[in-house]
Amino acid sequence: MRKLVVFRDIDDEYVDEIRKIIPDWEIEFAVDDNGEISLKDAEILLGWDKRAAEQCLYDGTPLKWVQTWSAGVNDMPFEAFKKYGIILTNASGVHSVPISETLIGMMLAFARKINTYIRNQMNKKWDRSYNADELFDKTAGILGVGAIGLEVARLAKALGMRTLGFRYSGKPADYVDKMYGPANWEELLKKSDYVVNILPLTKDTFHIMNEERFKIMKPTAYYLNAGRGSTHDEKALIKALKEKWIAGAGLDVFEQEPLPLQSPLWDMDNVIITPHTAGDNGRYIERVMNIFIPNLRAYIYGNDQFINKIDLDKQY
């Protein structure tokens, strides 16, 4: 019997919909990380963890397709997937609304000094001396114009901002006034008042924001990252903040998580920290199912038009 293994609890309505597509399949749930379940005979995995890595990657494996719960796939065993011909799809797009709203919220907080006023409120301090700014007519430079980046650009345009984008293809996109490619993307850093990093982590993006590139940014500009922590050099970022190469940073992701208690970032007045929660929302499972169920139909009917199919060589 062919088998699907699901790594999270999902509502009965989704289970029923899946059973209509694969009525003769066995469906097992591996929700408990420590639960004993055999994955060796699974053909499809909805999710991935160390048990799957240990049990499913071997010569002759029946595993044909993995749909991840996350957008990030930088920890996946790409070489093994290529070796065994396993299709990989991710949950890109699931986070576009909550992450883009978080990033816009950080921009507004910096512009309107909300983070400063909250600190003052905690200390019962009435201080009107801060010069609040606005986002209107400012420039947002978006590193990584995928689903999230496009939503950031759309919201930024609604607030009257100019938008610049960087993607490796250099292909133009709606709501992005100018798109840059690998040859000239550093120009974006020079022109942006807010540099928004939503890049995936690959061998090409590791520490792409380093000391040299933080120095390119305006001293009045803010750096935001809700993509992957290792796409910037955290030591270089701390130096940039301390030496005022940039005005501040809004960070949801870090090179080490949880962020160590001794990190200077915790105590910086010009830093907003969220604990890798920018993508949290109450509709996560619904949005993953909106990717997985069409993909399941495509798989069963032999249609290769998968949503969010990962290029195993590019790793995104």
How does pLDDT run across 55-83, given as a tens digit for each residue? 999 999 999 999 999 988 999 999 999 99
Name the pLDDT band for 114 (thresholds 50, 70, 90).
very high
Q: What is the DSSP string of 258-279?
A: SPPTT-GGGG-TTEEE--S-TT
Asked if 217 and 245 count as a contact pair (C-beta separation under 8 A), the reply is yes
How does pLDDT run across 209-267, given as a tens digit for each residue? 999 999 999 999 999 999 999 999 999 999 999 999 999 999 999 999 999 999 999 99
Name the pLDDT band for 37 (thresholds 50, 70, 90).
confident
Q: What is the pLDDT of residue 41?
A: 96
Does residue 10 sit in helix, strand or coil?
coil
- Average the pLDDT over 298-304 and give the result: 94
31 contacts: CB under 8 Å, gap ≥ 6: 6, 7, 8, 9
**pLDDT exceeds 90 at position 159:** yes
Q: How many helices (H) and strands (E) does the chain have?
A: 10, 12
Asked if 5 and 37 count as a contact pair (C-beta separation under 8 A), the reply is yes
Q: What is the pLDDT of residue 181?
A: 97
Residues with a known catalytic role: 228, 257, 276
Q: Which two tokens stand for residue 256?
A: 């080490």
Spatial distance between the Cα atoms of 124 and 82, rounded to a whole number of angstroms: 59
**pLDDT exceeds 90 at position 111:** yes
Q: SS3 sequence, 142-179?
A: EECCCHHHHHHHHHHHHCCCEEEEECCCCCCCCCCCEE
**pLDDT exceeds 70 at position 35:** no
**pLDDT exceeds 90 at position 196:** yes
What whole-number percentage of the chain has pLDDT above 70? 99
Output the average pLDDT for the chain.
96
Q: What is the pLDDT of residue 32?
A: 78
Helix-helix angle 96-112:147-158, to 10 degrees? 40
Q: Which two tokens stand for residue 212?
A: 């040299």
